[in-house]
Structure 1
Amino acid sequence: MHVGLMIYGSIETLTGGYLYDRKFCEFLASQGDRAEVISLPRRDHLLRALADNASPSLIRQVAGAPFDVLVQDELIHPSTVLLNRRLRSKARCPIVTIVHLLRSSERAVRLRRLSSSTERRYLAGVDGAVFNSETTRAAVESLLGRRLPGVVSYPGGDHLAADAADASEAKIAARARAQGALSVLSIANVLPGKGLHVLVDALGHLPAEGWRLTVVGSLTMNRAYAARLRGLIESTGLRDNVDLVGAVPNSRVADYLRDSHLLVVPSDYEALGIAYLEAMRFGLPVIATTAGGAGEIVGHGSEGFLVAPGDAAALTAHLRLLGEDRELLLRMGLAAQGRAARHPTWRESFEPARG
C-alpha cells in the first residue's frame, strides 16, 4: 500500500504530534507499506494557510502521486479544506485525517469563528479519521454535529520502554524516599498553552529550598513567551531553582525522567499527552489539567492529580503534599508505572487504523 502523509514542516520536529506521525510511518513500513511524506510550509496565520488551497503546484504534486490512501495531519486543515474537494476528481483515493487536537479546542485561537468554521468544513470533507484519544473523537463529533467514521489509536506507551526497563520498584522507592528537594520535571516546548508560567507561579509559593524545576523543551518556538517566562523567574527570585534546558534529543529525555520525582505539564488543553505516558513508564506521578484527555490515562488521586487550567493554588497544594508525603509520591509513582505498562503499544494502537 502506498500512503501519502501531508504535514506542516519537518516530521523530525520534536513535538508529541510529530512523534505520533513518525511512529505511524514506522508502523506502515513494518507492514510492508510505503509512506511518502508531503511537507507544506508552516504557516503562522490562518489566512496565509488558506491561500495554499489555490496552489497549482500543490494540487499537481498530490493529485499526480499514485497513492492508495492520502493521510493528512489534521493541523494542516486550513491549507487543504478547499484543495480536498479538487482532489476528489483527480486523485480518486480516500482521504483520512489524523486528529491530534482541534485548533478550535485551544484557548488562544485567533479568528476563532473563522477557525472553527474552516475546521468543521475540512472534517466534513474527509472519508475517515484516526483519533489519538476518545476525548479527541468526542470533540470532533461535537464540532461536526455527527459521527465521523474512524478509530481511536492512542499514542503508544512503549516509546521509551527500553530506557525505562531498569525503573524497578526498588529504584522508584529509593528515589521517592531520598532526602532533599522535590525534583519537578516539565517536558514541554516553552509555549503559552503549556502553562509553564502557572507552574512557576505555583512553585513560587513553596519554600525555595524544597523544590527544583527542570523544563525540557524548545525555547525558540515562541521567543516572546520564553523571554516572558525568564522575566517571571528573575522577578520572583527563582533563578537558582529553575533550569530551562531547551530542546534535547529523545535519547536524553530518559535521563531527566530517571532523575525526577514527578512530571507537571499544566496545559491549557492536551488531547492526551505523550509526555505523561513517558513519565509514567519511569514511575513518575503526573500533574496535568482537566482540559482535554489527560484523564483517560491519569486518575485524579491515583496516578497523579488533575487541576483546572490556570489554577496555580491547586497546583501549589498538590506539589506541597507530594513534597511532604514521600510515601504518597511513591504509591502514585508505582500506580502510574502500572497504568503505563497496561497501555497499548504503538503497534497495538495502529493495527486497527490500518485494518
Structure 2
Amino acid sequence: MRVAFVAPGDFETTSGGFRYDRRLVASLRETDDVSVYSVPWRRYPLSLFDAPATPLSRFSTDADVVVVDELAHPTFAVRCAGVREDHTPVVALVHHLRCDERGPGAPLAREFERRFLARVDAAVCTSSATDAAVRDLAPDPALPTLVAPPTADQFDPDVSPTAVDARATESPFRVVFVGSLVPRKRPLALVDALAALEVPWEATFVGPQPNERYASRVGRRCRRRGVDGRVTLAGALPTAALETVLRRAHVLVLPSRHEGFGIAALEGMGFGLPAVVTQSGGATDLVTHGENGFLVPPDGVGAVYAALSALATDRTRLARMGRAALTRYRSHPPWPETAARTRTFLARVASDPSSAAEPPLEAT
C-alpha cells in the first residue's frame, strides 16, 4: 500500500499529537511505502489563505490513500474535493476537532471542519469522544471511522501497587501538570486551585512554553497568589527528567478546555497517579470519576480544587485511586494492536471506502 501522509508544519513538533503521527508512520513503514508531506501551519485561520495553492490532489499522484492530520484542515477545507476526481481516497486523522476547543474562533472552525469532513472518505479518531464529535459534525452520517487510541509507552514505569501505597503517605502533596503552557490547557486554573489548598504541597508544570508572554502571565499569577516558591515552571523536559517528576508525584492534573485523548493522563496512570482531567474530550475513555481520577468541567476552578483537596487530605483514598489508575494503564490496548487495526482500516479504504466501517477499538 502506498500512503501519502500530510501533516501541518514541522513533523518533528513536540506534542502528543505529532508523536502519535510519527509513530503511526513508523509502524506503517514496516510494511508499506509511506511518504510524509508538510503543509503551512499558521495562526488560525490564516491557513485558509494557503488553500488555493495546496490542493490535496497534489499529494495523491502516487498514493493509494492520503492520510491528513486534521490540524491541516484549513488548508484543504475548500480544495480536497479534487482528490476524489482521480479516485484516491482521503482519510482524516483526527486527534480532536478544533471547534471543540471552544473560544471565539470555534464557529469559524466548525464551519471549515464540517466542509473538510464532507470531502474525506473516512476518519481515524484517537478517542471515542472524538469519534462521536466527528460523526456528529460530518455531513455524511455513514462516514466510516475507526477509534485508534495512542499508547503511553514513552516510559517503562514498572511501578508496583506497594510502591503506590508507600508514596501516598509522603509529604508534601506533589502535583504535576504535563502539557504545553497555553490557555487551552488552563494552567491558571490549576494555580488558583493550588493556592486554595490548606495542606503542604508543591507542583511542577512540565511542557513547552510556546508563548513567552503567556508563560510570563502564569509566573505572575503564581507570584500574585503567593505560591511561586512552591510552583516550578520546568518547561519541556527530556524523558528521563520527566520520569523522575512522575515517579515522585501524587497526582497528575490537566484541566484543559478540551483534550482529544489526553496521553499525559495515561502516562501518569502508568506511575500510579490518579488523573484530574477535563470531562470534555477523550480523557473520558481513561478516567472513571471517583475511581481512578476525577473528571472536572472545562471551566471554573472549584472542581479542580475539590479533587485535589480530596486526595491531599485522604491519603488512603489517594492510594486506592492510585492503584486503580495503575490497573487502568495496564489494561490499555498495546500499540501493535492499534497500529495493525489502523493499517487494516486504511487498506480497506484504499480498496473500497464504502466497506471500511468496522466496530471501534474498545478501551478496556
Q: Same fold (TM over 0.5)?
A: yes
Map of 2:223 onto structure 1: 234
| 1:138-217 superposed matches below 5 A | 138-145=132-139, 146-160=141-155, 163-165=156-158, 167-178=159-170, 180-207=171-198, 210-217=200-207
Tell me how far 1:113 sits from its aligned partner.
3.0
Name the SS for the 2:337 alignment partner. Answer: helix
Structure 2 gap segments, 5+ residues each: 345-364
Query: Is residue 2:48 matched to residue 1:45?
Result: no
Tell me how far 1:194 sits from its aligned partner.
0.4
| 1:108-147 superposed matches below 5 A | 108-110=103-105, 112-145=106-139, 146-147=141-142
Map of 1:2 onto structure 2: 2
Aligned counterpart in structure 2 of residue 70 of structure 1, from 37, 41, 66: 66
| Whole-angstrom distance in 2 between the partners of 1:172 and 1:115 | 42
| Whole-angstrom distance in 2 between the partners of 1:62 and 1:251 | 38
Contact 1:103 1:109 in 2 (8 A): no
Q: Deviations over 1:181-216 (max 9, x none)?
A: 111000010000101100100111113x61111000
Contact 2:48 2:74 in 1 (8 A): yes
Q: Deviations over 1:256-288 (max 9, x none)?
A: 211111100001111220001100011111001
Map of 2:211 onto structure 1: 222
Contact 1:97 1:126 in 2 (8 A): yes
Runs in 1 of length 4+ with deviation above 6 angstroms? Answer: none
Contact 2:17 2:95 in 1 (8 A): yes
Tell me how far 1:19 sits from its aligned partner.
1.3
Relative to structure 1, the CA distance from residue 60 to residue 136 in structure 2 (aligned partners, 3 Å threshold; closer, same or farther) is closer
Residue correspondences, number:
343
Relative to structure 1, the CA distance from residue 141 to residue 315 in structure 2 (aligned partners, 3 Å threshold; closer, same or farther) is same
Name the SS for the 1:83 alignment partner. Answer: coil
Contact 1:23 1:346 in 2 (8 A): no
| Whole-angstrom distance in 1 between the partners of 2:305 and 2:202 | 14
TM-score scaled by length of structure 1: 0.92
Structure 1 gap segments, 5+ residues each: none
Contact 2:265 2:275 in 1 (8 A): yes
Map of 1:325 onto structure 2: 314
Name the SS for the 2:221 alignment partner. Answer: helix
Contact 1:281 1:336 in 2 (8 A): yes
Tell me how far 1:310 sits from its aligned partner.
2.3
Name the SS for the 2:227 alignment partner. Answer: coil
* Percent identity (aligned): 38
Contact 1:182 1:323 in 2 (8 A): yes
